[in-house]
Chain A
Amino acid sequence: MDLNASLFLVRPEVILSFSALVLLLLSAWRSEAGRLASILAVAALVGAGAYVVQFMASGTDALAFDGLIGNDAFGNFAKILIYFAAAISLMIAPRFLEKMGAMRAEYPVLILLAAIGMGIMVSATDLVTLYIGLELNSLAAYVLASFARYDGRSAEAGLKYFVLGALASGILLFGMSLLYGFAGSTDFSAIGSALNGDISLGMIFGIVFVLSGLAFKISAAPFHMWTPDVYEGAPTPVTAFFASAPKVAASALLIRVVIEAFGNETMVWQQIVIVVALISIIIGAVGAIGQQNLKRLLAYSSINNIGFILIGLAAGTEQGVAGMLVYLAIYVAMTLGSFIVLMQLKAHDGSYRETFGDIAGLSKTRPALAAVFAIFMFSLAGIPPLFGFWGKLVVFQAAVAANLLPLAVIGIAASVIGAFYYLKVVKVMYFDEPADVIAPSDDAVLSWTGGIMAAAVSPLGYLAIPVLAALSAQAARALF
């Protein structure tokens, strides 16, 4: 395949890389031009997204660079979500970071680099490409976590993330080398055909190590330890980004590896995925109960949600993958919205607040903000008629269709434990006496984006089901 055709298929990544480099130059000379750089970065994401939409509309399904990277409906679906989440993270950040004194023009550059990495992750069809994408994303993320350089918590978050992330990358790399050694190729489809029938112990180890490394990236239990600390320490807009885009990218990557490379060895990975899913649901639910910090609470909530997403993967069917994609789409809206609410928790003295005590009686002092937060909480808990329910429903439907009834029953029963702490947030905001800590919002961008996300997860979201169902089904079909 000639180079032009290959470049054509990776146009979104080319655009983003070019923009990131230009913005890097800009930031080198004008490091205070953070706002301008952010606007340009959003424009670049929109431009790249437009190409992705065009690929989706034309039903492109091709490999580029001799099978190192692909361009198919699955990757494109994930890319739309990633670019969307990245763009929102760029829009909500400048004002918040300026108040912290941490806004610099490097922020949009790092977000863009992470977005490129994630784009490569979701379209990688080869272990080497996978690793490049993953590391590009991770390195940008480590820096982002400690972006508020003068804040001790932020620096600590970055360091923790880096050390543990490097360990996970090492584990992943070790698994990949085992797979390469035993399968003789780094190409997913070649590994897929090698992993068939009776496989050697080395291959099983390879699979286990790869899955462990990826479980770290999606913060699935028991590889979740870093999540609460990093989420708490990183600046809130960065946490919003961590909780949304990389989750989508790593989940999509996991899906592709499992389905395309390990697809013939369902028995080997299915039990791992089932166990990881259930542990994540339970740890995510139980761990959150005692938390006083809302960012830590949302960190456990993301662990909990990853568990539900993995239920779709455990099904291992086209329906399951489509369900996961729907869940991810809804999850991005819910989680971004929740963090946008957190970013509006600014006290009268201008400091940012993030604990339960600060939101006591919020429904009396800031009724709209409290209502929006309550919508996100009920939605994350999966209570109908909010849209989060639909995400849970589709993955459980896939599990039932795949005859995984015990998994479905245990998973959904454990979701009741999770409901407890989501209810606690609503209880504190609505039933407790007002603490009157939080000042009225003065940031129109946050109000608007939060409102739009709330509308999306409200019952109005159900109107999007036909579109979501069609797109996710098309994306899932690309893998099978």
Chain B
Amino acid sequence: MNASALPILSIMLAIPMGAAIACLFARAETARLLALGATLLNLALGVWLWVSYDPAGAQWQFVESLQLFGPIGWKLGIDGISLTLIMLSVFLMPICIGASWHAIQKRVGEYMAAFLLMETLMIGVFAAQDLLLFYIFFEAGLIPMYLIIGIWGGAERIYASYKFFLYTLLGSVVMLIAMLWMIQTAGTADIPTLLNTDFPVEAQKWLWLAFFASFAVKMPMWPVHTWLPDAHVQAPTAGSVILAGVLLKMGGYGFLRFSLPMFPEASADFIPLVFGLSMVAVVYTSLVALVQNDMKKLIAYSSVAHMAIVTVGLFTFNQQGIEGAIIVMLSHGLVSGALFLCVGVIYDRLHTREINRYGGLSINMPKYALLFMLFTMASVGLPGTSGFVGEFLSLAGAYKVSTWATLIATTGIILGAGYMLYLYRRIAFGEQKNADAAAMPDIDGREMWLLAPIAAAVLWMGVYPESFLAPIRRDVATIVARIERAAPAGDSKLKANDPTTVKYRVGGHGEEKNKAEGSHH
């Protein structure tokens, strides 16, 4: 049966919403089961959605439209890019619930309700086809996340929750004004229509900057990334997973859905800005990560570095770079989520995030050390893991545009290997310095169930990325075609018949193949 016969997106929004309300009134044990059940059901629906999605079909599928709220249309629909991000969300949610099973003991019902509400809002962001509806989902996520960090977070949770809320809010409100201007000018809030509306080039600049203010904070890009380490460190484990796994992706999604196709000329004009900030971010945050003593902080800074590779990939204006950026987003969602879970596993046992308190865990926790190793390697970008595919594609795409940006961004991989391996060495190898750390039991069945699916997905994406590239290829091609008119000239074009390079060339083979593929799909 095909999922398009049902308003499946509305159902996927309604299930966690309903469960969230029920959780508020349920007792702790019931709330846990209810939340797990609802998220697993949504995962099943998500798989069904993925299977039913036709990569060669219409651009927008599972479309729903209802004029329920006057000027705000209840318009939902997804393309391949939304599909993959929705899959990421519904895949991570049951894992988050599982990760909080024992770790959260106070106010369980409210906690589960907040997470289920987050799930509704995340799916809503990726599925909304009305500008105002998108904004509502995008902003509404602040409330549950504020409560999650503030109620169940660490010692500095109040500062972190305020910073998270106000930073993101300030970024977003300016975007709202830009959205209102767009609706005013284009006469519609329908996203598919706006995607094909050409705004005046002069206005595009302002609009682009307004959207940039919001997405750069959400992403986060240097120098507005400072909320992220605080929020990550203070949030409970599952909160960090969802923050790193999905919420950061909203920034990238925003660039891809709004900034690029709606303001192509402005996007091209601001490439130096984006590349510049990304280059700084890669080097700076990697170096900062290298000197962290707090595990979560280290991973948080690594997130900023990885997201910088996403922004570089997105603003390459070519198929390879954008596809790569999307894969980095998916991969980072899985890998950083898994790394936060790995931190959570040992944090639950020793209640400290300080790296020096651990050591030699591969002796007493071999299974844990193995999984942690896998995710470390995936974060570094080892071939065979998801990290490699995304980073390679986006950097290859970036090379066509700017050699320098690629060169600097690539150092991120080397530095990434530096800080991740250093982290791994300090935790898993070496002497068992502390008796309490040495006495920790290996991961139990529940933790295995949390980490193993992510490990499988990471390897799947690394070995056979085609499963994830297939649904997005055509939609990326649509965006590329839309922004082609503003695409920047690359700085690494070869001369037509340069005798010094002619023997290395494959006769324009690559380009022809790309074209053939493009028309094929």
Task: Check B139 for interface membership: any CB of A closer than 8 A.
Answer: yes
Is A393 touching B180 in the complex (CB atoms < 8 A)? yes
CB-nearest residue of chain A relative to B158?
Answer: A431
> Residue A416 contacts which of B68, B107, B169 (CB distance < 8 angstroms)?
B169
Task: Check A420 for interface membership: any CB of B closer than 8 A.
Answer: yes
Which residues of B in the span 142-188 have a Cβ within 8 Å of any Cβ on A? 142-143, 146-147, 150-151, 157-158, 161-162, 165-166, 169-170, 173-174, 176-177, 180-181, 183-184
Task: Check A409 for interface membership: any CB of B closer than 8 A.
Answer: yes
A467 CB, nearest partner CB in chain B, Å: 9
Task: Check B140 for interface membership: any CB of A closer than 8 A.
Answer: yes
Tell me which residues across on chain B come within 8 A of A412, comparing CB atoms: 173-174, 176-177
Task: Check A452 for interface membership: any CB of B closer than 8 A.
Answer: no
Surface stretch bound by B, among A81-89, A291-299, A397-405: A397-405
A354 CB, nearest partner CB in chain B, Å: 23
B179 CB, nearest partner CB in chain A, Å: 9
B157 CB, nearest partner CB in chain A, Å: 7
**Measured between alpha carbons, how far is A469 from B69 in the docked complex, in Å?**
10
Is A423 touching B136 in the complex (CB atoms < 8 A)? no
Which residues of B in the span 255-312 have a Cβ within 8 Å of any Cβ on A? none
**Measured between alpha carbons, how far is A423 from B136 in the docked complex, in Å?**
18
Tell me which residues across on chain A come within 8 A of B147, comparing CB atoms: 426, 430
Tell me which residues across on chain A come within 8 A of B177, comparing CB atoms: 396, 400, 405, 408-409, 412
**Measured between alpha carbons, how far is A464 from B136 in the docked complex, in Å?**
17
Task: Check A139 for interface membership: any CB of B closer than 8 A.
Answer: no
Is B176 touching A393 in the complex (CB atoms < 8 A)? yes
**Measured between alpha carbons, how far is A402 from B150 in the docked complex, in Å?**
40
Task: Check B135 for interface membership: any CB of A closer than 8 A.
Answer: yes
Tell me which residues across on chain A come within 8 A of B70, comparing CB atoms: 465-466, 469
Is B146 touching A423 in the complex (CB atoms < 8 A)? yes
Task: Check A11 for interface membership: any CB of B closer than 8 A.
Answer: no
Is B143 touching A378 in the complex (CB atoms < 8 A)? yes
Tell me which residues across on chain A come within 8 A of B146, comparing CB atoms: 423, 426
> Residue A462 contacts which of B72, B137, B173 (CB distance < 8 angstroms)?
B72
**Measured between alpha carbons, how far is A94 from B162 in the docked complex, in Å?**
39
CB-nearest residue of chain B relative to A466?
Answer: B70
Is A465 touching B72 in the complex (CB atoms < 8 A)? yes
**Measured between alpha carbons, how far is A385 from B157 in the docked complex, in Å?**
24
**Measured between alpha carbons, how far is A110 from B104 in the docked complex, in Å?**
53
Tell me which residues across on chain B come within 8 A of A427, comparing CB atoms: 150, 158, 161-162
Task: Check A102 for interface membership: any CB of B closer than 8 A.
Answer: no
Tell me which residues across on chain B come within 8 A of A393, comparing CB atoms: 132, 176, 180
Which residues of B in the span 206-254 have a Cβ within 8 Å of any Cβ on A? none
Tell me which residues across on chain B come within 8 A of A463, comparing CB atoms: 68-69
Task: Check B71 for interface membership: any CB of A closer than 8 A.
Answer: yes
Known contacts A397-B180, A400-B180, A415-B173; is A383 also within 8 Å of B143 by CB? Answer: yes
Is B136 touching A416 in the complex (CB atoms < 8 A)? no
Tell me which residues across on chain A come within 8 A of B174, comparing CB atoms: 409, 412-413
Task: Check A15 for interface membership: any CB of B closer than 8 A.
Answer: no
**Measured between alpha carbons, how far is A294 from B176 in the docked complex, in Å?**
30
Tell me which residues across on chain B come within 8 A of A373, comparing CB atoms: none
> Residue A405 contacts which of B68, B170, B181 (CB distance < 8 angstroms)?
B181
What 0/1 readout, one digit per residue, does chain B (68-88) give for beta carbons within 8 Å of chain A?
111110000000000000000
Task: Check A419 for interface membership: any CB of B closer than 8 A.
Answer: yes
> Residue B184 contacts which of A397, A420, A430, A465 (CB distance < 8 angstroms)?
A397
Is B180 touching A396 in the complex (CB atoms < 8 A)? yes
Task: Check A384 for interface membership: any CB of B closer than 8 A.
Answer: yes
Task: Check A209 for interface membership: any CB of B closer than 8 A.
Answer: no
Is B170 touching A416 in the complex (CB atoms < 8 A)? yes
Which residues of B in the span 303-350 have a Cβ within 8 Å of any Cβ on A? none
A236 CB, nearest partner CB in chain B, Å: 27
**Measured between alpha carbons, how far is A28 from B374 in the docked complex, in Å?**
85
Tell me which residues across on chain B come within 8 A of A466, comparing CB atoms: 69-70
Tell me which residues across on chain B come within 8 A of A462, comparing CB atoms: 68-69, 72
The interface size bin for chain A is 20 to 34
B216 CB, nearest partner CB in chain A, Å: 16
Tell me which residues across on chain A come within 8 A of B166, comparing CB atoms: 416, 419-420, 423
**Measured between alpha carbons, how far is A247 from B137 in the docked complex, in Å?**
31
Tell me which residues across on chain B come within 8 A of A420, comparing CB atoms: 162, 166
Task: Check A389 for interface membership: any CB of B closer than 8 A.
Answer: yes
Most chain A Cβ neighbours within 10 Å, of B69, B132, B173, B181:
B173
CB-nearest residue of chain B relative to A384?
Answer: B136
A27 CB, nearest partner CB in chain B, Å: 45
Is A383 touching B132 in the complex (CB atoms < 8 A)? no
Is A431 touching B140 in the complex (CB atoms < 8 A)? no
Which residues of B in the span 344-376 have a Cβ within 8 Å of any Cβ on A? none
Is A416 touching B72 in the complex (CB atoms < 8 A)? no
**Measured between alpha carbons, how far is A401 from B180 in the docked complex, in Å?**
8
CB-nearest residue of chain B relative to A420?
Answer: B166
Which residues of A in the span 370-427 have a Cβ within 8 Å of any Cβ on B? 378, 383-385, 389, 393, 396-397, 400-401, 405, 408-409, 412-413, 415-416, 419-420, 423, 426-427
Tell me which residues across on chain B come within 8 A of A413, comparing CB atoms: 170, 173-174
A293 CB, nearest partner CB in chain B, Å: 21
Tell me which residues across on chain A come within 8 A of B157, comparing CB atoms: 431
Tell me which residues across on chain B come within 8 A of A430, comparing CB atoms: 147, 150-151
**Measured between alpha carbons, how far is A462 from B68 in the docked complex, in Å?**
8
> Residue A419 contacts which of B132, B135, B169 (CB distance < 8 angstroms)?
B169
Which residues of B in the span 43-74 have a Cβ within 8 Å of any Cβ on A? 68-72
Tell me which residues across on chain A come within 8 A of B184, comparing CB atoms: 397, 400-401
**Measured between alpha carbons, how far is A389 from B146 in the docked complex, in Å?**
18
**Measured between alpha carbons, how far is A420 from B158 in the docked complex, in Å?**
12
**Measured between alpha carbons, how far is A408 from B180 in the docked complex, in Å?**
10
Known contacts A423-B146, A427-B150, A431-B157; is A469 also within 8 Å of B71 by CB? Answer: yes
Tell me which residues across on chain A come within 8 A of B165, comparing CB atoms: 419, 423
A398 CB, nearest partner CB in chain B, Å: 9
B14 CB, nearest partner CB in chain A, Å: 13
**Measured between alpha carbons, how far is A385 from B120 in the docked complex, in Å?**
12
> Residue A385 contacts which of B136, B158, B173 (CB distance < 8 angstroms)?
B136
Tell me which residues across on chain A come within 8 A of B68, comparing CB atoms: 462-463
Tell me which residues across on chain B come within 8 A of A383, comparing CB atoms: 139-140, 142-143, 169
Tell me which residues across on chain A come within 8 A of B170, comparing CB atoms: 413, 416
Tell me which residues across on chain A come within 8 A of B181, comparing CB atoms: 400, 405
Tell me which residues across on chain B come within 8 A of A469, comparing CB atoms: 70-71
- When A and B form their complex, which 10 residue pairs have the shortest distance between CB atoms, in order from nearest? A465-B70, A384-B136, A412-B173, A462-B69, A400-B180, A466-B70, A385-B140, A431-B150, A416-B170, A384-B139
| 19 pairs of residues in contact across A and B, judged by CB atoms under 8 Å | A378-B143, A383-B142, A385-B136, A385-B140, A389-B136, A397-B183, A400-B177, A400-B184, A405-B181, A409-B174, A412-B173, A412-B176, A413-B170, A423-B146, A423-B162, A427-B150, A431-B161, A466-B70, A469-B70
